[in-house]
Amino acid sequence: MTRTALVTGSAGFIGYFTARALIDAGWQVVGLDAMTDYYEVGLKERRRAMLRQTPGYTDIEGRIETPGLLRDLFEQHRFDAVIHLAAQAGVRYSIEAPRSYVEANLMGTFELLEAARAVPPAHMLLASTSSAYGANTDMPYREDMRADHQMSFYAATKKATENMAHSYAHLYDLPITMFRFFTVYGPWGRPDMAHFKFTRAILRGEPIDIYNHGDMRRDFTYIDDLTGAILALIDTVPGDAPVPGDSLSPVAPHRIVNIGNGAPVPLMDFIAAIETACERAAIKTYHDMQPGDVPATWADATLLETLTGNRPSTPIQEGIDAFVGWYRDYYQV
């Protein structure tokens, strides 16, 4: 029997690839996206157009925080799985426009949880962020670490959604998995992301801004590795039997899972990979650390591997080559 999934944020970078992977795996997919103008809407329109041309995909435009919208969709489709990726993203933008994070991340997630309480799916999978680990300096980050000191308002709202989801999982026996994503990159990525901004500037012969004077490391995760992990976790429903190193709640069917390579890359090595793919050197401008940012991220992916048998593994040069190839083709440069 064909199963049906809801993907919120389906015209977004991660949402598009997740919806496509689900369809390829035989799912019916309902995609919901607000098509906001936080970044180039043309990219979202192209992603949505490709999904609309795919059998098995139903497109809905709307804001997740709209009262009753998600409840109506849950009642109409009776979802087997819900993958919640819609959010207001961006660490620095959360300083400029914090209200949008309250509306999309907090109120939107509240509407989702209320819809699930009324019409429970078999499993809900909600996106969080590695930024939830905040000021922690003990690495690699494990899901059982305390995460109480977020460094940006964006991270604070995502950590709040983890807590909101836990309360609903406990009160209404809703199985929920929270993903903590680690710096996802790849073709069709967001223009505000580092790999996109660096590639654009290098190909134009413009300087790139390097913060903390280059002394930064990120656990970069290629988009195909991420979507593979999401699909593998759909049928790994949090229950009563924890696995070794589990983050399963003692009082609710609620689990947190890191999705990251487990191999942090120095920022200057990341830039070198882009220079290699672009076949030209970057003009580098160095700056102090930006407010709300952290110097390093590093995922412990042991739990993901225990649950699914796999972990992200795409080498950084391979992933960057794929992105730069897409960028050149899309923008004809």
> What pLDDT does 91 receive?
85
3-state secondary structure at position 32:
strand
Residue 79 has pLDDT above 90, yes or no: yes
Instruction: Supply the pTM of this predicted model.
Output: 0.96
Question: 95-99, 162-166, 226-230, 320-324: which range is least confident on average?
Answer: 95-99
Tokens 């223009």 locate to: 191
Does 154 participate in catalysis according to the annotation? yes
Query: How would you classify residue 279: left for phi > 0, otherwise alpha for psi between -120 and 50, otherwise beta?
Result: left
Residue 12 has pLDDT above 90, yes or no: yes
- Per-residue pLDDT band for 241 (boundaries 50, 70, 90) equals confident
Residue 90 has pLDDT above 90, yes or no: no
Mean pLDDT of the region 34-46: 94
CA distance 124 to 108: 14
CA distance 246 to 251: 14
- Domains for the chain: give ranges and CATH numbers: 4-186+221-262+299-314 (3.40.50.720)
Give the pair of three-digit tokens for residue 219. Answer: 């656990």
Residue 202 has pLDDT above 90, yes or no: yes
Which pairs from 285-291 meet CB under 8 Å and 24+ separation? 285/207, 285/208, 285/209, 285/210, 286/210, 286/213, 286/214, 287/209, 287/210, 287/211, 287/212, 287/213, 288/211, 288/212, 288/213, 289/211, 289/212, 290/91, 290/92, 290/211, 291/92, 291/95, 291/152
Annotated catalytic residue: which of 154, 185, 222, 327? 154
- Per-residue pLDDT band for 304 (boundaries 50, 70, 90) equals very high
Mean pLDDT of the region 241-269: 95
Distant-in-sequence, close-in-space partners of 15: CB < 8 Å, separation ≥ 6: 7, 8, 9, 31, 33, 47, 85, 86
